[in-house]
Structure 1
Amino acid sequence: MKLNNFELAFVLGRLLLGLNFLMHGLVRIPKLSVFSAGVEKEFAAAPLPPALVSAYAHALPFAEGAIGLLLLLGLWTRPALVAAMLVIMSLVFGSSLLEKWSLVGDQLLYGLYIITLVLHLQRNRLCLDPLAVVETRSN
């Protein structure tokens, strides 16, 4: 299959984001207790219930890893991008509570990146989406 430049750009962008999310998960899962303890300590003064912060910190690496794997495979790409955006939105929420505005800026760039991929989903190639049961094409 020969890809045009637009298709190649989309595939490379999808793979890059997928690798980023997957690696976030893979490096955090083996040290999950250390990671979650750090998040809990950081949010100790935030107006969130500690149990919620703990649950989030324990779930985040698995969500990141799953999203990353789906994007790398090109499986359920549209729902995976929506999930990636929801993760980024949750990170913006948390970073804003902590008033870590430089992190919010970085997270906004992730959001723009994801939006760009969503806008160009029709260029998705070298993926498993055609084999998936869930409809992933946009209107």
Structure 2
Amino acid sequence: MNDLAYLMLRLVAGVSFFGHGLVRLPKLTAFSQWMTGSFSKSMLPQSLVTPFSYALPIAEFTIGTLLILGLFSQKAFITGVVVMLLLMLGTCLIENWEALPSQMIHALLLILLYQFMAANTFSLDHIIFKN
């Protein structure tokens, strides 16, 4: 994979995660209330949904920042896929089928980036760790 194409794909994923977290962080309580409301009729207990709803924007913002910078990329890709798997499971449990394709695309993009990580030359990882 071309190193510049890899950078562009990493930035696409990073900006998406970063943007999701950035807009949710200032309204964290409202976001949590919306999410717990969305899951109120699901089989998941509120005791799981509430902490996840507060952690999700922080995770999105952090993963996005790391992806944009190309720092700790391998961990960011893996963590991002785990977040997407949890979101996909939740989406299925509340039967929000419209959101599933977007989540799958995010997960697939992260997996693709992980697969071709040797092309991650335009990154802080490459500068700091000489990968």
Which category of TM-score, normalised to the shorter sequence, fits these structures? over 0.9
Aligned residue number for residue 70 of structure 2: 74
Q: How many angstroms apart in 1 are the aligned matches of 2:53 and 2:100?
A: 18
Question: Which one-letter code corresponds to 1:74 in the other structure?
Answer: G
- In the alignment, what sits opposite 2:52? 56
Which aligned pairs between 1:105-124 and structure 2 lie closer than 5 A? 105-124=101-120
Deviations 1:87-132, CA, capped at 9 Å, x for gaps: 1101100000011222122211112111111111000022111315
Letter in 2 for 1:36: S
Contact 2:21 2:59 in 1 (8 A): yes
Tell me if 1:11 matches 2:21: no
User: How many angstroms does 1:35 deviate by?
Assistant: 0.4
Mapped to 2, the partners of 1:72 and 1:109 lie a distance apart of: 18
Alpha-carbon distance in 2 for matches of 1:6, 1:101: 34
Aligned AA (1:93)? L
User: Unmatched 5+ residue regions in structure 2?
Assistant: none
**How does the TM-score come out when normalised to structure 2?**
0.93
Residue 20 of structure 1: how far off its partner (Å): 0.8
Counterpart residue identity of residue 89, structure 1: L
The Cα shift of 1:15 comes to 1.0
Based on CA coordinates, which of the two structures has the bigger radius of gyration?
A: 1
Query: Given residue 59 of structure 1, which amino acid in structure 2 is its aligned partner?
Result: A
Q: What number of residue pairs does the alignment pair up?
A: 130
Instruction: Give aligned-pair identity as a percent.
Output: 36
Structure 1 gaps, min length 5 = none
